[in-house]
Amino acid sequence: MVGEKPSTNRKFGWGLLFLLAVLAALMVVLRTHAPSGPEATPARASEQIEEKPSPADPNKTSEPDPNDPNDRRLLRLLHKHRAFAERVEERASMVSRQIAARAVKDPNVLKAMRTVPRHAFVPSNMKRHAYADTPLPIGLDQTISQPYIVAFMTEALRLDPNSVVFEVGTGSGYQAAVCAEICREVYTIEIVEELAKSAKARLKELGYPNVFVKAGDAFFGWPDHAPFDAIIGTAAAGRVPEPLLEQLKPGGRMILPEGSPWGYQYLVLITKDKKGKLHRQKIMPVRFVPMTGEVQKPRK
């Protein structure tokens, strides 16, 4: 019995060595196939839950919803039409020499006048004169106003990005486009149906989704969208249409030519104070095409 102990010890030793060798091999295999880096750390029980999407980036704007009429992003101006990239230096010269040099200072107005391609609003045979300091004929006995007058009248309205404007007489659509560069919305009515159609198509092609044009008599304004922060008239009448005075918002401003189509005309600035009282001021002598329609009838 005493002679059996060395044999038993040797067996036990060999078994222990074998077990250690197996464990060492297993550790090598596990180390070889285990992922490296922080991903190898097992998640805590509290972290083993369904991953939630990260919050939206507040600086990233989502796409506008074309089915939402209240989504104001639909009215953003993009200036993608090729006309905006044409004759840029001529517009800059027009602004510096004809407009800024004559005391128009509102930076929004100056920027709008540099931006809107006036040559896109005149007939093809007039395009070479598009940036001259003069009104130009656009057909049907109508004109596009002198650039300085457009800028002067726009500045007088004191527009801001929230302003809603009504225009009497769309004409080519140029004055509406200048206002649209600054304000939120422009509603404009043209009594000559052919001009209304062409101006509407032109403004759409140029990318002015915030200008709304219709054919009709601007004497009655556009009650569905009143009151207006500002009203601008581009045709002269012997009196200011009463509906326009009613549709001007308290605190609002109106500028338009007043006088005889065949005699003296003056730009008149009308302001309505917070209490609704009107104040009138003659600004300068001008010459505009006559306003036609209801305004020409005798006052009732």
Q: Is 147 helix (H, G, I), strand (E, B) or coil?
A: helix
Exposure pattern of 51-74 as b/e (b: 16+ CB <10 Å)? eeeeeeeeeeeeeeeeeeeeeeee
Confidence band of 43 (pLDDT split at 50, 70, 90): very low
Distance set, CA 66 to CA 72, 231, 269, 276 (Å) = 10, 29, 38, 37
Q: Give the pLDDT confidence score for residue 33 in this predicted structure.
A: 52
> Cα separation of 253 and 40, whole Å?
70
pLDDT in tens, 136-178: 999 999 999 999 999 999 999 999 999 999 999 999 999 999 9
pLDDT one-digit tens code per residue, 79-92: 999 999 999 999 99
CA distances 100 to 245, 256, 281, Å, are: 31, 21, 23
Residue 219: per-residue pLDDT: 97
Distance between CA atoms of residues 163 and 294, nearest Å: 27
Q: Which residue has the higher pLDDT, 6 or 247?
A: 247
Of the pLDDT bands very low, low, confident and very high (cuts 50, 70, 90), residue 25 is low
Instruction: Evaluate whether the domain defined by 75-296 bears CATH number 3.40.50.2300.
Output: no
What rounded mean pLDDT belongs to the chain?
Answer: 84
Query: Residue 245: how many CB atoms within 10 A of its CB?
Result: 15
Neighbour-count burial of 228, counting CB atoms closer than 10 A to its CB (0-12 exposed, 13-18 middle, 19+ buried): buried
CA within 13 Å, CB half, 130: 24
Task: Output the six-digit token pair for 285.
Answer: 């002598």
- The 3-state secondary structure of 243-284 reads HHHHHEEEEEEEEEEEECCCCCEEEEEEEECCCCCEEEEEEE
Angle among Cα 122, 126, 131 to the nearest 5 degrees reads: 75
Residue 31's pLDDT band (boundaries 50, 70, 90)?
low
Note if 7 is an active site residue. Answer: no
Residues 51, 97: Cα–Cα separation, whole Å: 62
Tell me the β-bridge partners of 187: 166, 212
Tell me the mean pLDDT in the region 14-36: 61
More confident residue, 166 or 15: 166
Determine what percent of the chain is predicted with pLDDT higher than 70: 75
Residue 1 has a pLDDT of 42
Residue 86: CB partners within 8 Å, gap ≥ 6? 117, 119
What six digits make up the tokens of 153? 């009248």
In whole angstroms, what is the distance from residue 96 CA to residue 108 CA?
A: 14
The active-site residue, picked from 7, 62, 93, 145, is 145
Strands (DSSP E) contained in the chain are: 136-139, 142-144, 164-168, 185-190, 211-215, 228-233, 248-259, 265-272, 278-285
pLDDT of residue 45: 38
Residue that is written with structure tokens 């486009």 in the block: 177
More confident residue, 221 or 42: 221
| Number of residues that make up the chain | 300
pLDDT-based confidence at residue 15 (cuts at 50, 70, 90): low
Helix (H) or strand (E) holding 177: helix 174-180
CB atoms within 10 A of CB 252: 22
> What is the average per-residue pLDDT within 174-202?
98
pLDDT at 66 over 60: no
pLDDT tens-digit series, residues 232-281:
999 999 999 999 999 999 999 999 999 987 788 999 999 999 999 999 99
The pTM of this model reads 0.76
